[in-house]
Amino acid sequence: MTEPFTPDYHTGTPLPDWQGASAPSRATMQGRFCRLEPTSLDHVPDLSATFQSGDAATDWLYLGYGPFATEREVAAWVSKVCLGEDPLFFTIVDPAAEQAVGVASYLNIHAAMGSIEVGHIHFSPAIQRSRIATEAMYLMMAHAFDQGFRRYEWKCDSLNQRSRRAAQRFGFSYEGIFRQHLITKGRNRDTAWYAMIDAEWPALKAAYQTWLSDSNFQADGTQRQSLADLTGPVLVARG
């Protein structure tokens, strides 16, 4: 008797209990070294000063907006871009000075698929590679995974080497280049894709907690272990 034909299909891992993620909350996130507040027009004066403190030639080179010459321009940008639900912007506040020192946002939020991106990141030069900036990134990714997201993305212009190095330092694995993905300020943009997934989060969470701990810093503020050394073993690909 001839056996019935059964196609040899290959499919992904079944997710019978998947119910989707919850949308990220528009609520303040409090850490030891920084506070993330939903961006509002109240932040405009501090953000204007922060945006003026860097190098306009490089800070805004790969973004679709900026630089901003005046506080009024910052207010217009905040009103147009930063007050919605996707992207969902947060202002990074230094609690020691009670001053806004940067912004970051969630975007491309697909709760049903469990995918979310972090972007629109701008740090004051004073906090770059500091515990304030690093904890801000940690708080955002922790909230995303706590909400049930499976995938946390980072995308940038493929020519933006500073952003690509930062992505891998923060624990995002390289996934490839989307060629001719966007047109930014009249120029072609190939986009480099990075991501971390929920299965990697426990190890990355431990890496962040180790790096942020007081024991990781000497009396002069020098770090004993770099974040890149701690997150590096979790990366599945570099690029």
Walk along the chain (239 residues) in steps of 10 and give the mean pLDDT of each run.
66 91 97 98 97 88 94 98 98 96 98 98 90 97 98 98 97 98 97 98 98 95 95 98
In a domain, 7, yes or no: no
In a domain, 3, yes or no: no
Asked whether the beta carbons of 179 and 189 are under 8 A apart, the reply is no
In a domain, 117, yes or no: yes
Size (the chain), residues: 239
Q: Which domain holds residue 187?
A: 29-232
In a domain, 173, yes or no: yes
Of 109, 123, 186, 119, the closest CA to residue 156 belongs to 119
C-alpha distances (whole Å) from 154 to each of 1, 106, 174, 193 are 55, 10, 9, 6
Domain count, the chain: 1
In a domain, 1, yes or no: no
What CATH number corresponds to the domain at position 44? 3.40.630.30
Residue 126: the pLDDT is 87
In a domain, 177, yes or no: yes
Structure tokens at 123: 């740090």
Structure tokens at 191: 């986009």
Neighbours of 105 (CB within 10 A): 21
Please give, one letter per residue, the 3-state secondary structure of 47-76: HHHHHHCCCHHHHCCCCCCCCCCCHHHHHH
E strand or H helix at 45, and its extent? helix 44-52
In a domain, 18, yes or no: no
Beta bridge partners of 94: 99
Residue 27: the pLDDT is 96
C-alpha distances (whole Å) from 195 to each of 93, 127, 172, 192, 212 are 26, 24, 5, 10, 22
In a domain, 13, yes or no: no
Packed helices 44-52 and 71-81: angle between N→C axes, nearest 10 degrees: 120
How far apart, in whole angstroms, are the C-alpha atoms of residue 203 and residue 223?
20
Task: Say what the pTM is.
Answer: 0.94
- Which string of b and e fits 125-162 if b means at least 16 CB within 10 Å? ebbeebbbbbbbbbbbbbbbbebebbbbbbbbbbebee
